[in-house]
Structure 1
Amino acid sequence: MSTEPVVDRVRRQFAYEGVEATPAAVVSAVRRAGGVLGDRAVLRLAGQVRDEMIGAGPLAPLLSDPEVTDVVVNGTQVWVDRGAGMQRAAVRLNDADEVRRLAQRLVAACGRRLDDGQPYADARLPDGTRLHAVLPPVATDGPYLSLRTFRQRPFSLDDLVAHGTVEPAAAVVLSGVVAGRLAYLVTGGTGSGKTTLLSTLLGLVPATERIVLVEDAAELRPVHPHVVALQARTANVEGAGAVGLTDLVRQALRMRPDRLVIGECRGAEVVDLLGALNTGHDGGAGTLHANAPGDVPARLEALGMLGGLPRAALHAQVLAALQVVLQVRRTGRGRVLESISVLLPSGEERLATVVPAWELGRGAGPGAEVLARLFGERGIAVPDLLRPAGRPE
């Protein structure tokens, strides 16, 4: 039996009756509309019908695949990323109108608007999946959909080591960074695994400490017994009600944080974060878009200018507030921790520079001695990775 007539009949029934499409209601409607079917067939059809009505439709199987991190739709072509780059998916979308209806339904379910007057939308689905949609004519060959999946199961540091994301010796250094309450940034390009690594490291924070998260979109889910999260809010259709990260950082400071964390530094809120880390809130963290560790100071400088912080003051704040930069990169074999670096002053102007303490494939770097000293000052055992060859403990 084709599922399309069942979908049409059930959709009309819910529209006519005005009943919420709960799983139980969908199963009951499918049983009535599908004729004589066994329980297994009814449940299978009900799942397909519900995906077509309120879920991701033909994209649902991809989003439920634990290996998939991203699903994108270009017109009617569907592509997926399972950690090794984009690959064409064996999913068929009939035409652009079907994609447009799917995009509008998903966006509407998040309380947002997507139409000719507002041809793009950024939203978060109920399961945490992040959705971005663009309609023609802005999307020249669209509609375009971009979905970043949200995984409920967080990774442990041992998981990252087992997956090859973090070298075993580097994992010991990461544990020391957290235990020593060093403030750090996880940096890298889009989709490089910054949020995954940060969430994993937050899970190493002692259970006696309170973590306050500030995020543009709720993505961090550390395994920790005392986490409170603040999420930015966009303006409503009237253009009112927006709550930005800068406001949330200031609120977070009043919430007795032991560790203040910004999911992603992308604007003037970096000034408030640096200020907070310079007033006794050590051990804080965040992520930052940067293609290479050496780009971090310039990136912070640009964001600091948005907050009205002069260049010299910004670099002084950075050097006083942050100690470590963790660079992650997306490679052909997956996402990897590429380097662990320290922030040090340079030149007469004492501008912040990033000096590698360890690099993948190269071992200890010139910043290793500095990081080892920071560990020692905070009572953390210095890992072998940071010890010069031949020097005893």
Structure 2
Amino acid sequence: MDRTTERALKRAVRDEAAVRLRGDAVGPDAVEALIRRLVEEIASESGISLPPYEFEGLASAMIDDFLRYGPLQRLLEDESVTEIMVNGGGIDLDDPALPFRAPIVYVERAGRIEYRPDVEFDDAEHVRRIINKIAEQSGKRCDDAHAMGCAMLPGGRARATYVVPPIAPDGPALNVRTFSSSMLGMEDLVRMGMLTDGMSQFLRAAVQARCPLVISGGTGSGKTTLLGALSGFIPPDERVITIEDTPELRLQTPHVERMQTREANTEGEGSVSMRELVALSLRRRPDRIIVGECRGAEAYDMLQAMQTDHPGSMTTVHANDPGNAISRLRTMVGYADGDLSRDVIVQQIAESLQGGLVVHVERMQDGARRVTSIVAIDPLPEGSLVIPRAELFVFDVEGVDAYGAVAGEWRACGVQPQRIKERMRASGVWYDPAWFFDR
């Protein structure tokens, strides 16, 4: 059966099924039975002979469209797939006179991007139907007035972001970030080569001693994964409040209350910002506050929390390196109060993070995710506007081997962080000077 005939048959089945199911509360088994019956009936009426394997493939695809997430379903069920990217159809750049091409699917697996020509959408409208389903399940609208959005799939198993026309001129596009069903602990990350055992031991002690912690890195570098693993070192009797735009954090400590921002409704009312939630969390007796990602003015409130009664709080920041992370925090604090001078902002950041760490993670050229730098924040010298940083660990890249893997090794820089050392010993946490020297 050619693609044109297949699409026409699917359209006829879809339209007839929609008519028969309209207004009825029908269970999934009944929907599946109806789809199979309609495929058989309409194919027969159209004079289309379907061999058993074609019938099964077509019926299964239609059932996935109605009950699940269409062509994406098998990718969502594949634990090795960490990201799904659906590019909308667009004009052929070599010949703009040609009609729109079909949507194209890519996936990320083990940190590498793969083209998946075997995962096919019928057309742009097919992608739009899947986007509409995802949006509706999250109580959101997807139309010309709401042409972009972010939504969690049921059960928190994946986060979807989407754009549709008019802001997506090539047609609706969809990105789905999937989350592993198993939570990774620090031992898992060491085994996977994200960091060394010595670095892991040091970070464990830093969390237990309630050092403030900022994890920096790019998109998909592993910031949230590392933060989740570090949460396993938080004592179980400490109360933790998490604040996120979308609930991605999977903490490994029992006493957790989660908060989530909310967008305004169609009347422009009811929004709840990250900054409002940080302020609210301070009145809910947390021992630590974890902001999934600081992007704006909430950085000011987060840093104040670190500085006062909530040491050991944590957050992540999009940044290219630890120095860039500090610069971005400085910019974000400025969003909170435009009247704050540069020296006041620098003083605020330094006082909040002194005795703390910036841990930088990167996704390497070969797809591997690694902690490439751990930096201690030292007290700000009087009259200075430069926040002192002491690099404790660094990953030195040596090149790329014949198989495309990035070769390199971690190096302890031989620097002992005095303020962190004092904090650990005051907290009764084991401190080992050998962490900071190569053995």
Query: Considering the TM-score relative to the shorter chain, is it more than 0.5?
Result: yes
Q: How many equivalent residue pairs?
A: 384
Aligned to 2:230: 201
* 2:367 counterpart of 1:339: no
Question: Which blocks of at least 5 consecutive residues in structure 1 are unaligned?
Answer: 37-41
Moved more, 127-136 or 301-310: 127-136
Aligned to 1:354: 389
Moved more, 352-361 or 170-179: 352-361
Structure 2 matches for 1:166-205, cutoff 5 A?
166-205=195-234
Partners of 2:69 and 2:139 in 1: how far apart? 16
Aligned to 2:132: 104
Identity of aligned residues (%): 34
Return closer, same or farther for 1:325/1:78 CA change in 2, 3 Å cut-off.
same
Partners of 1:159 and 1:366 in 2: how far apart? 26
The offset of 1:78, in angstroms, is: 0.3
Partners of 1:233 and 1:338 in 2: how far apart? 34
Partners of 1:44 and 1:381 in 2: how far apart? 60
Return closer, same or farther for 1:285/1:47 CA change in 2, 3 Å cut-off.
farther
Structure 2 matches for 1:52-71, cutoff 5 A?
52-71=65-84
What SS does the corresponding residue of 1:265 show, helix, strand or coil?
Answer: coil
Aligned to 1:26: 31
What SS does the corresponding residue of 1:338 show, helix, strand or coil?
Answer: strand
Return closer, same or farther for 1:358/1:387 CA change in 2, 3 Å cut-off.
closer
Structure 2 matches for 1:191-340, cutoff 5 A?
191-308=220-337, 309-322=340-353, 323-331=356-364, 332-340=366-374
Partners of 1:80 and 1:354 in 2: how far apart? 38
The offset of 1:364, in angstroms, is: 2.0
Return closer, same or farther for 1:334/1:388 CA change in 2, 3 Å cut-off.
closer
The offset of 1:377, in angstroms, is: 3.9
The offset of 1:164, in angstroms, is: 1.4
Of 136, 144, 150, 2:165 maps to 136
Larger radius of gyration: 2
Q: TM-score, normalised by structure 1?
A: 0.88
Aligned to 1:82: 109
Moved more, 75-84 or 50-59: 50-59
Aligned to 1:159: 188
Partners of 2:235 and 2:59 in 1: how far apart? 45
Q: Deviations over 1:293-322 (max 9, x none)?
A: 111221011000000143222222222222
Partners of 1:181 and 1:64 in 2: how far apart? 38
What SS does the corresponding residue of 1:240 show, helix, strand or coil?
Answer: coil
Does the 8 Å CA contact 1:170/1:385 hold for their aligned counterparts? no
What SS does the corresponding residue of 2:179 show, helix, strand or coil?
Answer: coil
Return closer, same or farther for 1:8/1:273 CA change in 2, 3 Å cut-off.
same
Does the 8 Å CA contact 1:172/1:383 hold for their aligned counterparts? no
Does the 8 Å CA contact 1:327/1:340 hold for their aligned counterparts? yes
What SS does the corresponding residue of 2:246 show, helix, strand or coil?
Answer: coil
Partners of 2:319 and 2:229 in 1: how far apart? 20
Partners of 2:168 and 2:39 in 1: how far apart? 38
Partners of 1:318 and 1:367 in 2: how far apart? 22
Does the 8 Å CA contact 1:191/1:330 hold for their aligned counterparts? yes
Does the 8 Å CA contact 1:72/1:78 hold for their aligned counterparts? yes
Moved more, 140-149 or 194-203: 140-149
Does the 8 Å CA contact 2:376/2:417 hold for their aligned counterparts? no
Does the 8 Å CA contact 2:412/2:438 hold for their aligned counterparts? no
Does the 8 Å CA contact 1:199/1:222 hold for their aligned counterparts? yes
Return closer, same or farther for 1:161/1:7 CA change in 2, 3 Å cut-off.
farther
Aligned to 2:20: 13
Aligned to 2:413: 365
RMSD: 2.8
The offset of 1:32, in angstroms, is: 6.1
